[in-house]
C-alpha cells in the first residue's frame, strides 16, 4: 500500500453522475488506495456497475501513472549516482578497504539498480515472446503413452506464476455469479470512457468458450473437459509421429484444429486490444480459427481487468489451474449478498455410490495397464486411493465389485465429523494430504485417468453407437463424465479442519442411490487466503443487510480487523413517492395473514390470498409479479384456485404466466409476458396487463429485471424460511451458535434463519425498481413482516417508506391512490444522457374505472 494516499475529485463518466454515484466512486477510490476490505451497498437501478467501473479504473490509471513516475525518478537517481561514482573513481579513498574493492562493490550495486529499473520498461514484444516460448514448451510431451505415466514435473500453476511475473502490472479481478451478469458488466465497460484504453479479458469454462462443434455437442461440462484434454493428448502424439517417432497401429486420432500456437497468440493480442464479451469472443475465435478458451488464458497476465465467475477466483485449486494471481492485486466481488453460501457451496463436495464404483473400476484399469512402467511409490499411491474409495463404499453399506443396484436394507441419514467419518470408513491411517500433494497435484492423475478412459471407451463404442438408436443411448450412458475429478474434490474436502466441516452420509437402500457429502460450516477459512493475498477486496451488492452478521461470519472470523473494513451504503435515486411498500396483516374478508407452515395450507388462507390478488389486479396497471415461498406451495395454491374458480377470475383481468420448470424456457416466458403487457396497452380486450407467478429463490427471483410496466406491483406471499428440519441447516446453526458471539438476545443460528429468509425476500422485491423514473408498489402478505426485527432487515430505502396495515381497506385505498396519481413522467435514463417518456398502460381507461372499483370479497367478510 502506498505511503501517501491518492485522491480524486472528478471521475470520467459517460453522463452526469448522480450524487450517490460520485460518493460511491470517491469511497471506492479511497478503499482501493488504502488497501481496505470494502462493503459497498448500492440498490439495483442506481448505476452500481458503472460506478464500480469508473471508480476502480480511475484509481488503476492514477496508480499506474504514479508507479511510472516513481520508477522514472529512481532510474534518474540511479543513473546520476552511477555517473558521479564514475567521476570519483580516480579519487583516493580513505577507507580501510582497498580502493578497487570499494569501487567494484559500489558500481555493481548501482548497475544492478539501473538494470532492474530498466527491466521494468521492456516492451510488450519481449514479454509476449517469453509467453510464446512457454506456450511452445508446454506442447512438448513424453513419447506415446508415457505422457500419461506418473512423473515428477513442474505443475502448470508454477509455470503460469512465472509467466505472470514477467508482466508485473497491477490488475483488477471482477467476479460475479453468472455469465449473464459478467456479460452485462462487460457491456457497461464498453460504454464507459475507459473502453478504448483498458485491456480486458473475460474468462469462462470450456462449456462457454469452446467453438469446436464436435466437442460442444457433448453437452456436460465434464465430458467437454475430458474430450478437450483427449484431443490435446492426440495433438502431442501427432507431433511426436511427425518428428519420426513410430506411432502405434490404429485409426488416426482427432485433434482440435483451433489449438495452434500462432493463432492463439494472434487472438490473445486481439482480445487485449479491444473489449470483448463471451459472444464476441466466440465470434472472434471462429474468425481467427483459434480457441477462445486457451487464448483468454494466455491473455490473463498482461490484462488490466480480468472478468471471471466466482468459482475461478474463490476456489484455490481452480484459481491456480486458471493462472489467476491475486498477490497484491484488487478483487471486486459483485452480487455478493449470498457470498457466504457461495463459498460454502464451492468448497462442498458430494460423491454418489455409482461414481465411487466407476472411479474404482477406472483407476484399477489404469493401474493394470501401466503397472510395468509405474514407479513403486506411484503404484503405492494408486493402491491407497483405491483403498480409500473402498472405505467410502463400505460406509454406504456396499462392497466394491458388487452390483450397485442391489438393495442393501440400509436407509437414513447420518451426520459425522471429519475424524469420525474417517474412522467409520477405516481410512484414518491414510495421509490424504500426502496423497493429494504427491499424486493428484503433481501427476494430475484425475485428468489422466479421465482422458485415458474417455479415449478407450469412445473408441470401443464408436461403431456400437452408430449401429442403432438403442446403441446410441447405451453409449451415452457409458460415455458419461469420469468421476475421478469429483473423487479428488472430495479427498480435498476431507483435509479441512475437523471443526470446520461435517460429512453427511445418505443411505437410500441401494449403493447407487446412496451418497457421501462434505458440508463446509466455516466459509471464512477459505476466504481468509483471498483477503490475505489481495491488496484490496471490494464486496458489492444491491443489498448487503445485515452487514453486522456478514462481517462477523466472513471477515472477523477470517482474521480481518475492524480498522481494515470500509463501509458504504446509499439510498435509491427514485423520489419517495415512486415506491409504495405495504405490509398486509389481514385480507379483504378480515382473515389474518399468517403463512406459517402450519396455517398456509388451510383453504381459508388460500382463498384469502386469491381475493388479495384479485383486488390488486383490479387497480394495478401493467405487470404484477407474485412470489410464492416454494415450488410446492405454488403448485398447491394454484391448483386450489383452479378448483374454486379464483384463477379464472384473475384471468379475466390479466393474462396469467407461470415460472417455467426448465431454465432454458425463462427467456421465452419473459418475452411473452412483455409482449402481452404491450398489447394490452393498445387493444380493448378488457385485460389490464399480465400476472406472473414465480418462486422465491427460483429462476426469476434474481438477475431478472421487471422494470417499468413489467413490474408495477410485486406481491410476496408468506415468508420464505428455509427448511428448519434439514440436517445440513441444523448442523450449520449449531456450529454458528458454538463459534460466533451472541448479540441482541438471539443466537447466531436463529439470526441465520432470519437472514436467509430476508435476503431472499430482498432479492425478489428488488426486481421492480430499475431506474430513476421507475415506480412500483410492494405488497408483503404476512403479519410477521410487521415485526421490528424483520422490518429492520429490509433495504433502508424500502424500510423507511414501508407502512403496515392491520386492515385491508386502507391498504387498498393507498394502492388506488398510487394508481390514480401515476402520470407519464420525463425521466433521465442515464446511459447516454438522453431522456425518454415512461407511459402507463391504458391509464385513462383505468382512472375512469377507479370511481366504481370495489374491493372483491368485501361481502364475504
pLDDT on residue 115:
60
pLDDT on residue 85:
63
CA dihedral 309, 313, 318, 321 (to 10 degrees): 110
Distance of alpha carbon 14 from alpha carbon 51, whole angstroms = 11
> Residue 411 falls within a domain, yes or no?
yes
* φ and ψ at residue 215, rounded to 5 degrees: -80, -40
pTM over 0.85? The answer is no
> Residue 389 falls within a domain, yes or no?
yes
Can you give the residue range of the structural domain that contains 651?
579-822
Distance of alpha carbon 439 from alpha carbon 382, whole angstroms = 8
> Residue 777 falls within a domain, yes or no?
yes
466, pLDDT greater than 50:
no
89-103, 331-345, 546-560, 726-740: least confidently modelled range: 89-103
Residues 511 and 587 in one domain: no
Q: Which three cell numbers stand for residue 136?
A: 511452445
Residues 769 and 650 in one domain: yes
Residues 813 and 707 in one domain: yes
Residues 591 and 725 in one domain: yes
254 — pLDDT class (breaks 50, 70, 90): confident
User: Higher confidence at residue 707 or residue 310?
Assistant: 310
Residues 743 and 815 in one domain: yes
H helices of 192-323, in order, are: 206-209, 213-216, 221-242, 261-273, 278-288, 292-298, 310-314, 316-322
Beta strands (DSSP E) in 471-597 are: 501-510, 515-520, 536-541, 565-569, 579-584
Mind listing the pLDDT tens digit for each residue in 352-398? 999 999 999 988 988 888 888 888 888 888 899 999 999 999 999 88
818, pLDDT greater than 80:
no
Contacts 24+ apart (CB under 8 A), 671-678: 673/623, 673/710, 674/710, 677/622, 677/623, 677/709, 677/710, 677/841, 678/709
457, pLDDT greater than 60:
no
Q: Nearest Cα to 206, choosing from 235, 232, 228?
A: 228
Q: Nearest Cα to 352, choosing from 403, 405, 393?
A: 393
pLDDT on residue 797:
87
Query: What is the arithmetic mean of pLDDT over 495-519?
Result: 92
294, pLDDT greater than 90:
yes
822 — pLDDT class (breaks 50, 70, 90): very low
pLDDT on residue 1:
44
User: Which residues lie below 8 Å from residue 692, measured CB to CB, with a gap of 6+?
Assistant: 623, 624, 625, 626, 656, 657, 658, 659, 669, 673, 700
pLDDT on residue 613:
95
DSSP string, 623-685: EEEEEES-HHHHHHHHHHHHHHTHHHHHHHHSEEEE--SSGGGHHHHHHHHHHHHHHHTTS-S
pLDDT on residue 401:
80
Residues 587 and 652 in one domain: yes
Mind listing the pLDDT tens digit for each residue in 112-153? 655 655 554 444 444 444 444 444 444 333 333 333 332 222
pLDDT on residue 406:
81
- Number of domains the chain contains: 2
> Residue 598 falls within a domain, yes or no?
yes
pLDDT on residue 138:
40
**Sheet of strand 565-569: strand arrangement:** 200-202, 305-309, 172-176, 330-333, 536-541, 37-41, 565-569
> Residue 204 falls within a domain, yes or no?
no
> Cα separations (Å) of 861 from 588, 604, 627, 837, 856?
7, 12, 25, 42, 10
Residues 776 and 705 in one domain: yes
> Residue 584 falls within a domain, yes or no?
yes
Mind listing the pLDDT tens digit for each residue in 710-755? 888 999 999 999 998 888 999 999 999 999 988 877 899 999 999 9
Residues 620 and 733 in one domain: yes
Distance of alpha carbon 262 from alpha carbon 303, whole angstroms = 19
User: Higher confidence at residue 371 or residue 109?
Assistant: 371
Residues 787 and 642 in one domain: yes
Residues 416 and 499 in one domain: yes
pLDDT on residue 321:
86
pLDDT on residue 840:
37
* φ and ψ at residue 90, rounded to 5 degrees: -85, -5
pLDDT on residue 525:
94
DSSP state of 688: -
Distance of alpha carbon 423 from alpha carbon 175, whole angstroms = 39
295 — pLDDT class (breaks 50, 70, 90): very high
Last residue of a domain, one of 806, 822, 838: 822
> Residue 631 falls within a domain, yes or no?
yes
pLDDT on residue 169:
78
Q: Which three cell numbers stand for residue 602?
A: 388451510
Residues 503 and 587 in one domain: no
Taken in order 616, 622, 628, 633, the sign of the CA dihedral is: positive
Residues 510 and 652 in one domain: no
Q: Nearest Cα to 587, choosing from 391, 841, 812, 402?
A: 812
pLDDT on residue 540:
94
Distance of alpha carbon 238 from alpha carbon 92, whole angstroms = 68
In terms of DSSP bridges, do strands 565-569 and 579-584 run parallel, antiparallel, or are they unpaired? unpaired
682, pLDDT greater than 80:
no
Taken in order 14, 19, 20, 22, the sign of the CA dihedral is: positive
27-36, 400-409, 520-529, 632-641: least confidently modelled range: 400-409
> Residue 744 falls within a domain, yes or no?
yes
SS (H, E, C) 81-147: HHHHHHHCCCCCCCCCCCHHHHHHHHHHHHHHHHHHHHHCCCCHHHHHHHHHHHHHHHCCCCCHHHH
767 — pLDDT class (breaks 50, 70, 90): confident
Distance of alpha carbon 555 from alpha carbon 566, whole angstroms = 12
pLDDT on residue 122:
45
**Sheet of strand 349-352: strand arrangement:** 349-352, 515-520, 501-510, 407-417
Report the chain's mean pLDDT, rounded to a whole number. 80
848 — pLDDT class (breaks 50, 70, 90): very low
pLDDT on residue 161:
45
Mind listing the pLDDT tens digit for each residue in 602-654? 999 999 999 999 999 988 888 999 999 999 999 999 999 999 999 999 999 99
Q: Nearest Cα to 181, choosing from 24, 284, 334?
A: 334
836, pLDDT greater than 70:
no
**Residue where the block lists cell 443489498:** 543
444, pLDDT greater than 60:
no
CATH of the domain at 717: 3.40.50.300
CATH of the domain at 365: 1.10.275
Amino acid at each position: 500500500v502506498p505511503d501517501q494516499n491518492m485522491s480524486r475529485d472528478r471521475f470520467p463518466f459517460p453522463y452526469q453522475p448522480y450524487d450517490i454515484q460520485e460518493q460511491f466512486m470517491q469511497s471506492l477510490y479511497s478503499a482501493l488506495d488504502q488497501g481496505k476490505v470494502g462493503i459497498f451497498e448500492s440498490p439495483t437501478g442506481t448505476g452500481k456497475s458503472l460506478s464500480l467501473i469508473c471508480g476502480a479504473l480511475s484509481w488503476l490509471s492514477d496508480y499506474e501513472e504514479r508507479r511510472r513516475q516513481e520508477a522514472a525518478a529512481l532510474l534518474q537517481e540511479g543513473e546520476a549516482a552511477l555517473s558521479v561514482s564514475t567521476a570519483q573513481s580516480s579519487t583516493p579513498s580513505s577507507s580501510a578497504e582497498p580502493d578497487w574493492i570499494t569501487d567494484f562493490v559500489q558500481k555493481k550495486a548501482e548497475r544492478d539498480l539501473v538494470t532492474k529499473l530498466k527491466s521494468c520498461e521492456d516492451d510488450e514484444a519481449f514479454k509476449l515472446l517469453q509467453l510464446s516460448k512457454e506456450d511452445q514448451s508446454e506442447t512438448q510431451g513424453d513419447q506415446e503413452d508415457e505422457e500419461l505415466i506418473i512423473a515428477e514435473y513442474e505443475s502448470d500453476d508454477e509455470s503460469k506464476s512465472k509467466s505472470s511475473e514477467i508482466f508485473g502490472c497491477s490488475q483488477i479481478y471482477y467476479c460475479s455469479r453468472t455469465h449473464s451478469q459478467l456479460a452485462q458488466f462487460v457491456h457497461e465497460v464498453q460504454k464507459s470512457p475507459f473502453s478504448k484504453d483498458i485491456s480486458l479479458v473475460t474468462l469462462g469454462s470450456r462449456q462457454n468458450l469452446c467453438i469446436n462443434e464436435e466437442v460442444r455437442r457433448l453437452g456436460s461440462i465434464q465430458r467437454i473437459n475430458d474430450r478437450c484434454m483427449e484431443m490435446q493428448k492426440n495433438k502431442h502424439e501427432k507431433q511426436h509421429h511427425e518428428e519420426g517417432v513410430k506411432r502405434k497401429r490404429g485409426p488416426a486420432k482427432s485433434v482440435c484444429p483451433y489449438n495452434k500456437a500462432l493463432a492463439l497468440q494472434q487472438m490473445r493480442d486481439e482480445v487485449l486490444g479491444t473489449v470483448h464479451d463471451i459472444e464476441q469472443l466466440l465470434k472472434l475465435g471462429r474468425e481467427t480459427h483459434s480457441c477462445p478458451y486457451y487464448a483468454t488464458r494466455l491473455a490473463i497476465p498482461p490484462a488490466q481487468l480480468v472478468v471471471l465467475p466466482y468459482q475461478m477466483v474463490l476456489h484455490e485449486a481452480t484459481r491456480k489451474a486458471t493462472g489467476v494471481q491475486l498477490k497484491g492485486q484488487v478483487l471486486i466481488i459483485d452480487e455478493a449478498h449470498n457470498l457466504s453460501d457461495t463459498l460454502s457451496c464451492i468448497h462442498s463436495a458430494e460423491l454418489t455410490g455409482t461414481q465411487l464404483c466407476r472411479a474404482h473400476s477406472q483407476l484399477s484399469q489404469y493401474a493394470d495397464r501401466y503397472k510395468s512402467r509405474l514407479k513403486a511409490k506411484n503404484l503405492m499411491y494408486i493402491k491407497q486411493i483405491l483403498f480409500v474409495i473402498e472405505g467410502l463404499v463400505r460406509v454406504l453399506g456396499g462392497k466394491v465389485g458388487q452390483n450397485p443396484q442391489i438393495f442393501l436394507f440400509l436407509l437414513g441419514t447420518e451426520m459425522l465429523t471429519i475424524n469420525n467419518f474417517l474412522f467409520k470408513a477405516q481410512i484414518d491411517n491414510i495421509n490424504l494430504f500426502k496423497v493429494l500433494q504427491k499424486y493428484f497435484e503433481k501427476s494430475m492423475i484425475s485428468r489422466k485417468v479421465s482422458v485415458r478412459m474417455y479415449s478407450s471407451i469412445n473408441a470401443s463404442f464408436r461403431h456400437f453407437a452408430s449401429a442403432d438408436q438403442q446403441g446410441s443411448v447405451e453409449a451415452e450412458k457409458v460415455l458419461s463424465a469420469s468421476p475421478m475429478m469429483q473423487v479428488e474434490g472430495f479427498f480435498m474436502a476431507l483435509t479441512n479442519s475437523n471443526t470446520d466441516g461435517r460429512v453427511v452420509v445418505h443411505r437410500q437402500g441401494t449403493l447407487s442411490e446412496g451418497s457421501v457429502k462434505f458440508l463446509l460450516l466455516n466459509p471464512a477459512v477459505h476466504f481468509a487466503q483471498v483477503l490475505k493475498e489481495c491488496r484490496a477486496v471490494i464486496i458489492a451488492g444491491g443489498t448487503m443487510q445485515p452487514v453486522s452478521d456478514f462481517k462477523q461470519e466472513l471477515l472477523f472470523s477470517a482474521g480481518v480487523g475492524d480498522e481494515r473494513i470500509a463501509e458504504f451504503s446509499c439510498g435509491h435515486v427514485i423520489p419517495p413517492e415512486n415506491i409504495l411498500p405495504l405490509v398486509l396483516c389481514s385480507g379483504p374478508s378480515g382473515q389474518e395473514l399468517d403463512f406459517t407452515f402450519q396455517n398456509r395450507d388451510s383453504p381459508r388462507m388460500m382463498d384469502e390470498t386469491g381475493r388479495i390478488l384479485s383486488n390488486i389486479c383490479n387497480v394495478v396497471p401493467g405487470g404484477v409479479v407474485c412470489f410464492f415461498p416454494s415450488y410446492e406451495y405454488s403448485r398447491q395454491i394454484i391448483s386450489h384456485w383452479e378448483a374454486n374458480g379464483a384463477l379464472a377470475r384473475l384471468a379475466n383481468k390479466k393474462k396469467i404466466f407461470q415460472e417455467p420448470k426448465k431454465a432454458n424456457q425463462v427467456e421465452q416466458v419473459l418475452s411473452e409476458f412483455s409482449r402481452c403487457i404491450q398489447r394490452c396497452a393498445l387493444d380493448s380486450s378488457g385485460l389490464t396487463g399480465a400476472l406472473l407467478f414465480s418462486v422465491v429463490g427460483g429462476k426469476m427471483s434474481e438477475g431478472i429485471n421487471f422494470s417499468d410496466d413489467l413490474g408495477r406491483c410485486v406481491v410476496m406471499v408468506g415468508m420464505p424460511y428455509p427448511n428448519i428440519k434439514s440436517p445440513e441447516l441444523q448442523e450449520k446453526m449449531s456450529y454458528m451458535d458454538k463459534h460466533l458471539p451472541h448479540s441482541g438476545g438471539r443466537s447466531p443460528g436463529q439470526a441465520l434463519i432470519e437472514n436467509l429468509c430476508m435476503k431472499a425476500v430482498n432479492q425478489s422485491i428488488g426486481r421492480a425498481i430499475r431506474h430513476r423514473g421507475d415506480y412500483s408498489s410492494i405488497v408483503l402478505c404476512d403479519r410477521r413482516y410487521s415485526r421490528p426485527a424483520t422490518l429492520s432487515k429490509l433495504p433502508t430505502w424500502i424500510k423507511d417508506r414501508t407502512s403496515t396495515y392491520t386492515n385491508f381497506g386502507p391498504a387498498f385505498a393507498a394502492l388506488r391512490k398510487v394508481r390514480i396519481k401515476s402520470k407519464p413522467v420525463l425521466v433521465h435514463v442515464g446511459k447516454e444522457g438522453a431522456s425518454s417518456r415512461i407511459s402507463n398502460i391504458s391509464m385513462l381507461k383505468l382512472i375512469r374505472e377507479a370511481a366504481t372499483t370495489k374491493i372483491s370479497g368485501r361481502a364475504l367478510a
